[in-house]
């Protein structure tokens, strides 16, 4: 009996403890923070938040997906190169229909590439706005703070500059919207191209005023020189030649930059962050081996075809066009530095193509296409990498000194200073080992521009710009390239998916 009583006491204690324990801790029991995910509040309380969020904006270049959301990777190359007269789609004829439509200037709003670019850029802008939002509240030295803000506004200015060049007027998102604001007219209605340019100029002007010189900051960060160069380019697009001239002049006279002596190695690892580099997308080796733009080089690498039988280097997209090849002057070193030529098959004696690192590509009967982009090539064998060929650490030069000279030359020419213009152009020609010019014309500047910057994802936008200066130019260039240019092609179509999500606020571009 004693035994039974103690059991019952035990039971009573157990039940009582259960109820008491429960009631006392009821309130907090259901407050569980997400595990292994840092919350916004926790991020804000971190003293390094500002710096880290700015680094996070730079990382958007790696966040892209070669066939998804993208900022400066392969999707951007489809617009800048493949859609232009510099290049053809490449790969096997039916591979990647979206790129084919763009190559043929027949894409409409359902095209996947334009949606990927739209999404990539607005993701980049959202990261910039998040960083700016948190920076505004950060408590630290004003100059250091403005430098960080300057970097983000430089990047945001660049993002909007590319957006306006691709789509014309686009919605201007200048802060972090709440989810509930998704369909508010403020964010889903297009601003005009002029308003977007105004916004870009204000961002870049702030960056010019607050960023340090190249010597005063880390390699890879935005600098005053970078902001001036980009702003000069923006003014060139707006035919504000005086401002374009003044800003490019400032970059030239700063003495911080110059032409890299050997054009042939400018786009190799040895040319990374050279004297010529003004703003360059960085990359490198980390343990996870993912610190580079996704598949930027493998998408453009030579592809096996025909007889196959070799380990190829890529998917074969973005082939330099015949129109581009035809424009190179004899002995221009840029020709063989820009294009990998696949040699014809000549029976058993076919020599194939030996790349600078010694890799031999077989002759045409085993290769899908005849030409590939050498500027996007990265050697798996002689340049440092960690064997993740999808993320070869290729740097991408966004603005380099040669382009500043070209901007300077064109602005000077338009302002009537043909002498300065000729000097600039001949500096570039000298490096390219082609005979100097004795007189300068607008077409000669544009020719030089095309040769110098071929396959660097700028040609399409530049041709549209030239067409605004000299109407008919784009149509002629595309005719020479075997494609038909229409007025609507000066901008790409707004993604239909985004129009559908905008509640009718976002309108399609004219002609699509």
Considering only residues 336 to 395 of the shown chain, the ones binding other proteins according to CB under 8 A are 365, 386-388
Rounded Cα distance, 59 and 46, in Å: 19
Q: Work out whether 39 is an interface residue with other proteins (CB under 8 A).
A: yes
Q: Work out whether 130 is an interface residue with other proteins (CB under 8 A).
A: yes
Q: Work out whether 37 is an interface residue with other proteins (CB under 8 A).
A: yes
Q: Work out whether 2 is an interface residue with other proteins (CB under 8 A).
A: no
| Residues within window 44-73 making contact with other proteins, judged by CB under 8 A | 46, 49, 52-59, 61-63, 69
* Candidate list 258, 415, 497, 512; residue touching other proteins; CB under 8 A: 497
Q: Work out whether 432 is an interface residue with other proteins (CB under 8 A).
A: no
- Nearest 5°: phi and psi at 479? -65, -45
Stretch binding other proteins (CB under 8 A), from 6-14, 399-407, 434-442, 481-489: 6-14
Rounded Cα distance, 174 and 165, in Å: 18
Q: Work out whether 502 is an interface residue with other proteins (CB under 8 A).
A: yes
Please identify, using beta-carbon distances, which residue of 36 and 330 lies nearer to other proteins. Answer: 36
Q: Which residues pair with 467 in a beta bridge?
A: none
Please identify, using beta-carbon distances, which residue of 26 and 439 lies nearer to other proteins. Answer: 26
Q: Work out whether 254 is an interface residue with other proteins (CB under 8 A).
A: no
Stretch binding other proteins (CB under 8 A), from 90-98, 225-233, 262-270, 472-480: 90-98
Rounded Cα distance, 93 and 99, in Å: 11
Side-chain half-sphere CA neighbours of 416 within 13 A: 0
Q: Work out whether 261 is an interface residue with other proteins (CB under 8 A).
A: no
Contact criterion met (CB below 8 Å) for 248 and 229: yes
Rounded Cα distance, 130 and 144, in Å: 18
* Candidate list 70, 85, 86, 98; residue touching other proteins; CB under 8 A: 98
Q: Work out whether 220 is an interface residue with other proteins (CB under 8 A).
A: yes
Rounded Cα distance, 184 and 259, in Å: 48
CB of 21 to other proteins, least distance (A): 10
CB of 26 to other proteins, least distance (A): 7
CB of 33 to other proteins, least distance (A): 8
Q: Work out whether 26 is an interface residue with other proteins (CB under 8 A).
A: yes
Cα separation values, 213 from 50, 148, 255, 272, Å = 21, 14, 11, 19
CB of 11 to other proteins, least distance (A): 4
3-state secondary structure of 110: coil
CB of 446 to other proteins, least distance (A): 34
Q: Is 208 exposed, middle or buried (0-12, 13-18, 19+ CB in 10 A)?
A: buried
Contact criterion met (CB below 8 Å) for 392 and 297: yes
Q: Which of 286, 305, 241 is nearest to 445 (CA)?
A: 241
Instruction: Write the CB contacts of 342 (distance below 8 Å, at least 6 apart in sequence).
Output: 302, 353, 361, 363, 364, 367, 369, 370, 371, 372
CB of 263 to other proteins, least distance (A): 23
CB of 7 to other proteins, least distance (A): 5
Q: Work out whether 240 is an interface residue with other proteins (CB under 8 A).
A: no
Q: Burial code of 74-86, b = ≥16 C-beta within 10 A, e = fewer?
A: bbbbbbbbbbbbb
Q: Which residues pair with 373 in a beta bridge?
A: 339
Size, binding site for other proteins by CB under 8 A? 102
Q: Work out whether 19 is an interface residue with other proteins (CB under 8 A).
A: yes
| Residues within window 445-484 making contact with other proteins, judged by CB under 8 A | none
Please identify, using beta-carbon distances, which residue of 2 and 330 lies nearer to other proteins. Answer: 2
Q: Which of 210, 225, 226 is nearest to 148 (CA)?
A: 210
* Candidate list 188, 228, 240, 363; residue touching other proteins; CB under 8 A: 188
* Candidate list 136, 273, 351, 435; residue touching other proteins; CB under 8 A: 273
Please identify, using beta-carbon distances, which residue of 219 and 261 lies nearer to other proteins. Answer: 219
Which of left, alpha, beta for 491 (phi over 0: left; psi -120 to 50: alpha)?
Answer: beta
Rounded Cα distance, 434 and 429, in Å: 5
CB of 199 to other proteins, least distance (A): 14
* Candidate list 126, 275, 437, 475; residue touching other proteins; CB under 8 A: 126
Q: In which residue are the tokens 């359902």 written? A: 110
Q: Work out whether 315 is an interface residue with other proteins (CB under 8 A).
A: no
CB of 422 to other proteins, least distance (A): 37
């Amino acid at each position: 009996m004693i035994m039974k009583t103690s059991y019952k006491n035990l039971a009573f204690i157990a039940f009582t403890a259960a109820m008491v324990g429960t009631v006392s801790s009821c309130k907090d029991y259901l407050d569980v923070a997400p595990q292994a995910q840092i919350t916004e509040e926790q991020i804000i309380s971190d003293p390094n938040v500002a710096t880290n969020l700015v680094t996070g904006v730079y990382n958007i270049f790696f966040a892209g997906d070669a066939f998804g959301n993208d900022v400066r990777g392969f999707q951007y190359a489809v617009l800048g190169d493949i859609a232009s007269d510099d290049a053809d789609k490449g790969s096997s004829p039916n591979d990647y229909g979206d790129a084919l439509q763009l190559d043929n200037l027949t894409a409409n709003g359902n095209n996947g590439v334009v949606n990927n670019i739209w999404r990539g850029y607005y993701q980049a802008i959202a990261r910039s706005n998040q960083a700016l939002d948190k920076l505004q509240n950060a408590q630290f030295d004003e100059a250091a703070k403005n430098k960080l803000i300057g970097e983000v506004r430089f990047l945001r200015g660049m993002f909007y500059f590319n957006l306006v060049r691709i789509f014309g007027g686009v919605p201007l998102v200048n802060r972090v919207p709440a989810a509930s604001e998704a369909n508010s007219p403020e964010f889903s209605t297009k601003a005009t191209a002029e308003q977007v340019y105004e916004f870009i100029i204000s961002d870049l002007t702030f960056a010019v005023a607050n960023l340090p010189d190249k010597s005063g900051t880390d390699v890879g960060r935005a600098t005053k020189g970078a902001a001036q160069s980009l702003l000069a380019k923006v003014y060139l697009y707006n035919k504000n030649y005086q401002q374009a001239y003044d800003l490019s002049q400032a970059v030239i006279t700063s003495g911080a930059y110059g032409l890299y002596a050997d054009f042939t190695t400018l786009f190799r690892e040895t040319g990374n962050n050279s004297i010529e580099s003004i703003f360059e997308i960085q990359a490198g080796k980390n343990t996870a081996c993912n610190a580079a733009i996704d598949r930027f080089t493998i998408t453009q690498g030579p592809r096996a075809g025909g007889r196959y039988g070799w380990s190829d280097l890529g998917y074969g997209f973005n082939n330099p066009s015949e129109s581009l090849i035809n424009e190179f002057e004899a002995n221009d070193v840029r020709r063989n530095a820009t294009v990998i030529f696949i040699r014809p098959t000549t029976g058993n004696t076919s020599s194939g193509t030996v790349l600078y690192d010694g890799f031999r590509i077989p002759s045409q009967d085993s290769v899908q296409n005849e030409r590939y982009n050498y500027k996007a090539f990265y050697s798996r064998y002689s340049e440092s990498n960690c064997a993740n060929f999808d993320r070869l650490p290729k740097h991408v030069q966004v603005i380099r000194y040669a382009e500043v000279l070209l901007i300077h030359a064109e602005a000077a020419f338009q302002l009537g200073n043909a002498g300065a213009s000729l000097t600039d152009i001949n500096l570039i020609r000298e490096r390219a080992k082609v005979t100097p010019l004795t007189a300068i014309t607008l077409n000669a500047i544009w020719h030089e521009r095309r040769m110098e910057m071929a396959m660097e994802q700028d040609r399409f936008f530049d041709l549209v710009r030239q067409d605004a200066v000299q109407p008919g130019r784009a149509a002629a260039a595309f005719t020479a390239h075997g494609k038909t240019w229409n007025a609507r092609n000066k901008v790409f179509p707004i993604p239909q998916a985004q129009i559908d999500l905008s509640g009718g606020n976002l309108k399609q571009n004219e002609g699509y």
